[in-house]
Structure 1
Amino acid sequence: MKTKYFSTNITIVLLCGLVSMLAVQVHDSLKSSVQAQKIKVDGLNGFNVQEVRDSNNGIFQKQSGTTWVEKNENGRIPLQETGRDEWSVYLSKTNGAKVQLDLWKGEVIYNGNRLYDITSAGSKLCSTYPSGTASRGLQTLTFNYDGTKKNESDIYQFVVPNFTIDPSKKTIILVHGFTSSPTKAFGSATGGRLHNSLLTKFPNANIITVDWSSMSGTSQDSYNWVYNRMWFVGRTLSSVLQEDLCIKPENTEIIGYSLGAHIAGTTGYDYHKDTGNKIKQIIGLDAAGYLLSHLGSDVRLDTGDAKRVVGIHSSDATHFPATSEGLGWAKEYGDLDIYIYTKNVAEDGVGQLLGSGWGNWRNKHDYAVTLYQYLVDNKSYSYANKWTWNEADFTEKPFNLNSLDSLTGTVTVWEK
């Protein structure tokens, strides 16, 4: 009896263990099945998948040919595709590590071991974009210049965003200028100038600053070096908007100050070249003029870089319309060009472009930022539908934020 009783206990224990093992297997099978169902959409399979996102906020994207890139908190890591089957893509890193994107199991497998779950996958870029998870408030895209690297793609790159946006909402992107930063150019989110105004005016918008201070220069002596490389920022930013943030161009506006205005133009130009679609609007806040007028339209702000281009002019080294270049570019370059008239007289006794005239070429360069902020804050001005120094041409018809979307040609705003 004693032995029989002991044997029965063993049988029970073995049965319980078997049931437990089966339960784990069923759980894992169900988990894989559920995970796989997330990505089994629209005929997606291992032969046509081009983008995979994982549970560690990483992104695997097919580039061209057999080239892939993994984007995560460590940057952008190149991979080579070595094969595909019905449910998997097989990739190899430069260090020999093997990566399998297994759509059936819903797993990223690294050297034979599960690394992360696959959260979404698609047969084209941005088809996996997570919806309903937008980060709120002010976000920052950080550009990382590393002159120690050899390849252009490694020298000029943005840190992979650690936030998402809701592309169905208005998206506003701010780009600072030479020897500057987002805080210096636009203020901070908690106590600044334009940042606060935009957050108040558009509480549901995606508001993003671009911090390219790692390359924007630290002194006036570095201007030539910076302006010769600034379009790399724009071109790289265009890729981020396409592949990482997945913006909708019809909802997107880029605002650039000084050299940042030309970065905005390059971004819009490249975005259109790559996608066939145009950003809704680019606003240049006293776009830099020095050494820029001879450059091609692909590397400076110009009409056509977006569906609508607006320029707000607040400085020039000499009286408008002199041809010499100043800190701000006084020449027309947009669908709407706004010139700020000041009643402060020049030596010849007439009014002039704010910030123009010898000895006054620098201290009004940022007034374009101030004027735009005032418009966002619902202030309005009298204006004339042309460039003019004649005060009789000005009307009391209000020029306000909505005017940026409706007027065309040249407008003079009277700064009182």
Structure 2
Amino acid sequence: MRFKVLLIEDNESSVRVLKRVIGKANLDVVLANTLAQAKIIFETTSPELYLCAVVGYSLPDAPHGQAINFTINAFIPTIVITSEVEEDIRENILAKSIVDYIPKQNAQMFEYLNRLLIRLEKNKQIGVLVVDKSRHNRGILSSLLGRHNFITFDTSSAAQALDLLQRHPLIKLMLVEEDLADTKGLELVSEARKLYDKDQLSIIGLSTNTHSSLLAQFIKSGANDFLRKPYCHEEFFCRIVQNVEHIEQIEAIRRAANSDYLTGLPNRRHFFNKVNHTIHRGQAPMSLALIDLDNFKLINDSFGHDYGDVVLKEVSKMIVRHFSSFHYSRFGGEEFCIFMAQTEQSEAIELLNTFRQEVSQKVIKSKGISHSCTLSIGVTSRASKKIESMLSIADEHLYNAKAQGRNRVIGDPA
């Protein structure tokens, strides 16, 4: 679902810029120039359709931030934009349950808004765990995180925190108070680091303790960051986002290292690592298939390499759809490999034939070109402790499939 952003602003030049910024974040704009118009819009649409509201502080019928109260009361995350920079107005805005406020001072602030909008959508898939013995403190932190669309979990004890981390892989950030119900926060950080590296879970220590050594103790125990209470809400959110983005950047680097640049499928090196791990666990029966696009050189020569790339991408999408529960990879060129753990030869051949037939029936269209392609497949179920041995056998069967006329699956002889 593509989310909407309710934009409540009356300045025409600001509206033009904000529409571009919101559109750049791949979000739809619903515009109201006044608070009255916004109320009419809400009578005909559901709040669930909106990712957030971007609200001007001063409007013709709401000169002192009344529109902010309206969107907050409608339970829509609210971002405030204002040309007013007076400290009393800033404090008045920050005292409300808003996501953030953005002064219209320069173009960079609009770039910040773009990043914030993208962040709000991503946060819907990210869990944050709050660990504090005080239920009141946990409620405050969970409420702040909820403004930014994070999925929140909370507990008072280290034992429950470790259990929640294992049961909810979507948790990417943990906030840990110094004193917990069953131990010290430092002990929880140390135990968590035995299970999760810094590229899997970010940890921020929290404390009202002003002793300078506590920050160092948290960091040495494995925390990524430390925040001393009381804190400014702006600083709190900056630290939260910084630590979440650290995890995302590491994940992006890992995906790039493990993926084929064209199709997005796992690359050969990553495939070998995953399959060897499965083989060593001895999950027999197992089958391995090598897939080759028939006459792919002719496709490239006849229609060009750009169309050849489209063919590879479409076949890759079909591999993902058909073999989502197995390991697969683009091996290079027009060759793919699929490893099917706990799969007998007969079942593997049936799955591969269904896939082969669907590929042969699909007409791949791009830039006025319409063409279909076929596959030759070699598969073996002769289990081995080395993937190279299975690949060698599957390659022989693939060669035989080509020699026998292509567009077929050849497996181990009975």
Short-chain TM bin: under 0.3
Q: TM-score, normalised by structure 1?
A: 0.26
Structure with higher strand content: 1
Structure with higher helix content: 2
Q: TM-score, normalised by structure 2?
A: 0.26
